[in-house]
């Protein structure tokens, strides 16, 4: 399990964060100058160069959102220009994309961050520009909410690109776009002008995720361990019944794909922060906190001592690695890859849950998040090679499909980066930097204050 450094303070990471942002700037500019956008959005690196992978264009918002975060952290206007102009030029199709569950990734990272900077008075206020960002978020939230499958006994979920039967755990982070759209005064209008609350639809999705994608050690099945998650849950769309857990990117429906676990940790933690300030939403906080605590506890218990997990807790090669949880993760081992992108996502979830809970109880989670960040700010995870376009090394995309690059001298993938890992590492760094500088606490909903 993670060896939590209980005495680590954000200010002790200040020098490492300065180095991080210097490296981050180099990577963003390298991609901006040399990546061929005609081939599609950059997804992950192969031998240090970003390339694409045709599935869905879910990483483009991370590319341009990274430039916006870089400006936020450093006040370097060239990155604001890259993020602002690229959002205007490229991101419009993502607002009306009816075929994906990724609106909360693409559009909060771009339009949402730009509006947030304006609301925080980091960039000059312009009424028309603010209206443009607000309209984008309103439309995106309604389009995302329209991908909805009702289930038995009420409720339902935003279904994945696999179809109406499929609930992905990572979609929890797309609930942000519904929340923003609702806070901006928008609704989804359906047949016969029925007005559907975007807040209610987001809560329905989160409740379904908490009920079916997460286990609580309450005897649900023979593999019921508190806090573990399933990447996908399958429903019968004829009668709305839950049928089985499944995995698209994990090893199986009865093991825990650690990036999916991380999405749940961060998704529930940041929605707790949001809903705590929404009138009438207090009734939802207990089950949401239960899900956040369970997943965060599972991560702490089932991750090596330095806070970086292997890609799936049930990956078969782990059986050949001895007591791998009692030592730091080994990204160069010949059996199973680690996933540092899961660590970056999980660390932010831990920090947010810790801050939300406060006191000694919250301190455990907060310090666990800082411990992970300290690991990721150092080699071999921080990419210091100027020839490598990635920022966070040793990430994994799709292990079952074999999409990740394995060096000739290796037997398992290592040494590569991904766009969501780089983006969430920047988001994590910005969040912690705020504790050092005393600037506004970074949340997705600062853009609607």
387: Cβ–Cβ under 8 A, 6 or more apart, which residues?
48
Cα dihedral 429, 434, 436, 439 in deg (nearest 10): 160
Residue 312 is predicted with a pLDDT of: 98
Contact, 395 vs 318, CB < 8 A?
no
Helix, strand, coil: what percent of the chain each, to 5?
A: 55, 10, 40
Task: Report the distance separating Cα 53 and Cα 39, nearest Å.
Answer: 9
Section 248-259 average pLDDT: 96
In a domain, 60, yes or no: no
In a domain, 241, yes or no: yes
Q: What is this structure's pTM?
A: 0.98
312-335: per-residue pLDDT in tens?
Answer: 999 999 999 999 999 999 999 999
Task: Report the distance separating Cα 358 and Cα 270, nearest Å.
Answer: 14
Q: With a cut of 80, say whether residue 54 has pLDDT above it.
A: no
User: How many CA atoms lie less than 13 Å away from 378 in the CB half-sphere?
Assistant: 10
Residue 53: pLDDT band (50, 70, 90) is confident
Task: Report the distance separating Cα 175 and Cα 101, nearest Å.
Answer: 10
89-130: per-residue pLDDT in tens?
Answer: 999 999 999 999 999 999 999 999 999 999 999 999 999 999
384-411: per-residue pLDDT in tens?
Answer: 999 999 999 999 999 999 999 999 887 9
Contact, 82 vs 104, CB < 8 A?
no
Triad 102, 103, 109: Cα angle to 5°: 105
In a domain, 170, yes or no: yes
In a domain, 62, yes or no: no
Q: With a cut of 80, say whether residue 449 has pLDDT above it.
A: no
Section 236-245 average pLDDT: 97
In a domain, 59, yes or no: no
- For the chain, the domain total comes to 1
Q: What is the CATH number of the domain that holds 200?
A: 1.50.10.10
Task: Report the distance separating Cα 239 and Cα 420, nearest Å.
Answer: 36
In a domain, 444, yes or no: yes
Task: Report the distance separating Cα 340 and Cα 405, nearest Å.
Answer: 15
Determine the structural domain holding residue 253 and report its residue range: 10-53+142-448
The per-residue pLDDT of the chain, averaged, comes to 97
Task: Report the distance separating Cα 365 and Cα 400, nearest Å.
Answer: 31
In a domain, 80, yes or no: no
In a domain, 108, yes or no: no
Contact, 215 vs 227, CB < 8 A?
yes
Concatenate the DSSP letters of all residues of 316-367 into one string. GGGGGSSSGGGS---TT-SS--B-HHHHHHHHHHHHHHHHHH-HHHHHHHHH
């Amino acid at each position: 399990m993670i060896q939590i450094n209980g005495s680590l303070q954000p200010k002790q990471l200040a020098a490492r964060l300065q180095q991080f942002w210097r490296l981050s700037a180099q990577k963003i500019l390298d991609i901006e100058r040399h990546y061929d956008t005609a081939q599609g959005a950059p997804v992950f690196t192969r031998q240090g160069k970003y390339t694409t992978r045709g599935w869905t264009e879910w990483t483009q918002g991370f590319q341009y959102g990274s430039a916006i975060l870089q400006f936020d952290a450093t006040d370097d206007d060239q990155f604001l220009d890259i993020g602002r102009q690229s959002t205007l030029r490229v991101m419009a199709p993502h607002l009306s994309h009816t075929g994906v569950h990724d609106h909360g990734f693409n559009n909060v990272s771009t339009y949402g961050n730009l509006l947030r900077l304006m609301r925080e008075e980091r960039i000059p206020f312009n009424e028309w520009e603010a209206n443009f960002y607000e309209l984008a978020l309103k439309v995106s939230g309604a389009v995302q909410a329209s991908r909805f499958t009702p289930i038995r006994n009420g409720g339902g979920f935003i279904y994945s690109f696999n179809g109406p039967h499929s609930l992905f755990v990572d979609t929890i982070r797309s609930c942000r776009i519904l929340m923003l759209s609702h806070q901006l005064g928008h609704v989804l209008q359906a047949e016969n002008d029925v007005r559907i609350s975007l807040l209610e639809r987001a809560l329905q999705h989160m409740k379904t995720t908490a009920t079916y994608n997460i286990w609580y050690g309450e005897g649900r099945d023979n593999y019921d361990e508190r806090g573990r998650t399933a990447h996908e849950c399958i429903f019968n769309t004829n009668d709305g019944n839950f049928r089985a857990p499944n995995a698209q990117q994990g090893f199986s429906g009865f093991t825990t794909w650690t990036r999916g676990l991380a999405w749940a940790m961060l998704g529930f933690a940041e929605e707790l922060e949001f809903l705590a300030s929404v009138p009438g939403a207090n009734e939802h906080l207990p089950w949401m906190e239960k899900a956040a605590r369970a997943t965060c506890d599972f991560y702490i218990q089932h991750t090596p001592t330095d806070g970086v997990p292997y890609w799936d807790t049930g990956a078969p090669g782990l059986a050949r690695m001895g007591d791998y949880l009692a030592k730091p993760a080994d990204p160069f081992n010949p059996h199973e890859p680690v996933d540092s992108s899961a660590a970056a996502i999980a660390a932010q979830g831990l920090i947010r849950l810790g801050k939300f809970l406060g006191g000694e109880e919250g301190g455990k989670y907060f310090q666990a998040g800082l411990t992970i960040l300290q690991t990721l700010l150092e080699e071999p995870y921080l990419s210091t090679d100027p020839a490598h376009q990635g920022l966070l090394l040793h990430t994994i995309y799709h292990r079952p499909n074999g999409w990740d690059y394995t060096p000739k001298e290796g037997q398992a993938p290592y040494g590569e980066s991904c766009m969501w890992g780089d983006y969430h590492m920047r988001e994590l760094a910005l969040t912690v930097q705020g504790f050092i500088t005393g600037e506004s606490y970074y949340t997705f909903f600062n853009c609607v204050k």
